[in-house]
A and B are shown apart, each in its own frame.
Chain A
Amino acid sequence: NAGVTQTPKFQVLKTGQSMTLQCAQDMNHEYMSWYRQDPGMGLRLIHYSVGAGITDQGEVPNGYNVSRSTTEDFPLRLLSAAPSQTSVYFCASSYSQGSVYGYTFGSGTRLTVV
């Protein structure tokens, strides 16, 4: 059982380039989300999905797109990379059983935009 798998682990982009960060989970979780982590800022929500075909914006969505064609995958696309998007990106998946939620995070993608 792999949990939440993120690829790549490290990436360097030039300003203006586009790329896709991959996230896959094998736990059949309905909810998936993307966070970015910056020094001193904690984790901030970018986009989330409550199920296949449904996505919504979080706190900091500008410059990012997502889609959810399957339950397992939730890719994050950077349309035109900017230095302000240098960060560590975490994907998470979660289930809900009434009021009980289980969140599992991936190990992160460290992105540098130069």
Chain B
Amino acid sequence: GQQLNQSPQSMFIQEGEDVSMNCTSSSIFNTWLWYKQDPGEGPVLLIALYKAGELTSNGRLTAQFGITRKDSFLNISASIPSDVGIYFCAGLNYGGSQGNLIFGKGTKLSVKP
């Protein structure tokens, strides 16, 4: 089946730093989604991307849908402590599979000690 490679697996942030993570796939997707998960909660949608090349912002978050439709990145600018959590990318192909999400394995953001 389709698989997403998400990197990095984990990273430490210091308040004020910019953060970048990305996802790549061996096959194309029609939609890319980025989610954040806090401990004990379900994933919450941050940004949705629907067109190749699309660049979308949501506050301090910016995400792009790669031109090849096989990759996407998420940037967080000027990180704050509440950015800590696990971030997931997800690819979606609507149509035959009726829009089922394929998830990356997540990027865990922690605060630098």
Contacts and interface: CB of A to CB of B under 8 A. Distances in A.
A59 B41 CA distance: 22
B73 interface: no
B31 interface: yes
Contacts of A96: 94, 99
A42 B105 contact: yes
User: How large, as a class, is the contact surface on chain B?
Assistant: 20 to 34
A106 interface: yes
Contacts of A100: 48, 50
A94 interface: yes
Given A42-B105, A90-B42, A107-B42, 13 more contacts: A31-B98, A35-B103, A42-B88, A45-B101, A94-B99, A96-B99, A99-B50, A100-B50, A103-B45, A105-B44, A106-B42, A108-B41, A108-B42
Contact of B104 (A42, A56, A105, A108): A42
Interface in B46-102: 48, 50, 88, 92, 94, 98-102
User: How large, as a class, is the contact surface on chain A?
Assistant: 20 to 34
A71 interface: no
Chain A residues touching B, majority SS:
strand
19 contacts: A33-B101, A35-B101, A42-B88, A42-B103, A42-B104, A43-B88, A44-B103, A45-B100, A48-B98, A59-B1, A90-B42, A92-B42, A92-B101, A94-B99, A99-B30, A99-B94, A100-B50, A103-B33, A105-B44
Interface of B: 1, 4, 6, 30-31, 33, 40-45, 48, 50, 88, 92, 94, 98-106
Query: Which of A48, A56, A105, A106 counts the most B-chain CB atoms under 10 A from its CB?
Result: A105
A108 B94 contact: no
Contacts of B31: 99, 101
Contact of B101 (A41, A99, A103): A103
B46 to A, nearest CB: 12
Interface string A2-34: 001000000000000000000000000001010
A106 B103 CA distance: 16
Contacts of A111: none
